[in-house]
Amino acid sequence: MCGRFGASYRDIKAVWNLYGNFSFEKRYNIAPSQEVPVIIRNDGRNEAEVMKWGLVPSWAPDAIMGQRMINARSETLLEKPSFKQALQKRRCLIPANGFYEWRRDGKRKIPMWIQLKTRQPFAFPGLWAAG
């Protein structure tokens, strides 16, 4: 997953047929450790919840570890104890309208906004930790 992205709940509510009264302001620069809208499956329905971006495993000594654990790589997903239980039991979707990639221009880094050509929302696969 990228290091920064944007999301608008109004746009994603209809796409994923979300249940319940949930509100999330449109944001264009969501960063690790911030709250993000997440879609989980509960009792056969798609529900939106707000969760903090960054996986904090149950065995972690403190929540600071979650700021570093923002990407689960498919190549090592099944090997890492941090992801194993979440992969089996706690999967989610992280809706987005776009994300940033960075282009270097000398010493400067320039953010490039990436979105679908149709401008429709899409989702990143995600894992969440109980607790």
Is 35 marked active-site?
no
- Whether the CB-CB separation of 91 and 38 falls below 8 Å is answered with no
Please name the amino acid found at residue 109: K
The span from the CA of 62 to the CA of 90, in Å, is 20
Of 49, 75, 79, 101, which is the active-site residue? 101
Query: Whose CA is closest to 30, among 52, 15, 55, 46?
Result: 52
Number of Cα atoms under 13 Å in the Cβ half of residue 118: 4
Is 79 marked active-site?
no
The span from the CA of 73 to the CA of 104, in Å, is 24
Of 2, 49, 75, 79, which is the active-site residue? 2
Residue corresponding to tokens 């929540």 = 63
Give the residue numbers annotated as catalytic, written as ranges. Answer: 2, 101
